[in-house]
């Protein structure tokens, strides 16, 4: 089985995340959406809520599996037999950061990273921007899947 891992905090899931997942699906037998937790990070949404957003968004897609993890992404990939890590790139700054992480991950584990450029229509969206809009009472609904919009925030 050719299993890919798309790691992130997904706090919350955005249309950009959804786009990357949907575009990657034809290339793999399974995509594991790996919802990470970091004890040093403050999240707006609980791990259960973040996972729920993803489950609802991809409920009709049997190739999408949602798992949670802590620690190094490459160790999680090895544990579940993930053969590649998927990352979305919005801009050159994303590339520079993600390139270094991908090189370290490959050196540590031999696991490659597949970069997908975000669609032009979602390239400006980030979870941190969505959180800021929510915190300030703005209209975030054009930036997230409908399953995130209908959930009580």
Q: Could you give the residue numbers annotated as active site?
A: 17, 41, 90, 127
Q: What token pair was written down for 49?
A: 């809520």
The single residue listed with the structure tokens 């993600």 is: 98
Query: Hey, how many other C-beta atoms are within 10 angstroms of the C-beta on 133?
Result: 16
| Beta strand segments in the chain, E | 3-8, 30-37, 64-70, 84-89, 112-117
Q: What token pair was written down for 102?
A: 């991908």
Vertex 145, ends 24 and 36: CA angle to 5°?
A: 65
3-state DSSP call for residue 18?
helix
Alpha carbon distance 20, 63 (integer Å): 14
Alpha carbon distance 89, 115 (integer Å): 7
């Amino acid at each position: 089985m050719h299993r890919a891992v798309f790691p992130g905090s997904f706090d919350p899931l955005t249309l950009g995340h959804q786009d990357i997942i949907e575009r990657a699906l034809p290339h793999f037998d399974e995509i594991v959406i790996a919802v990470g937790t970091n004890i040093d990070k403050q999240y707006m949404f609980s791990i259960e809520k973040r996972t729920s957003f993803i489950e609802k968004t991809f409920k009709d897609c049997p190739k999408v599996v949602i798992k949670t993890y802590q620690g190094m992404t490459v160790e999680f990939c090895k544990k579940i037999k993930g053969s590649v890590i998927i990352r979305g790139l919005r801009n050159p700054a994303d590339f520079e950061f993600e390139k270094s992480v991908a090189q370290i991950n490959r050196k540590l584990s031999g696991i490659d990273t597949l970069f997908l450029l975000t669609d032009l229509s979602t390239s400006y969206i980030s979870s941190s921007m969505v959180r800021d809009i929510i915190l300030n009472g703005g209209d975030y609904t054009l930036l997230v899947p409908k399953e995130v919009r209908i959930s009580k925030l």
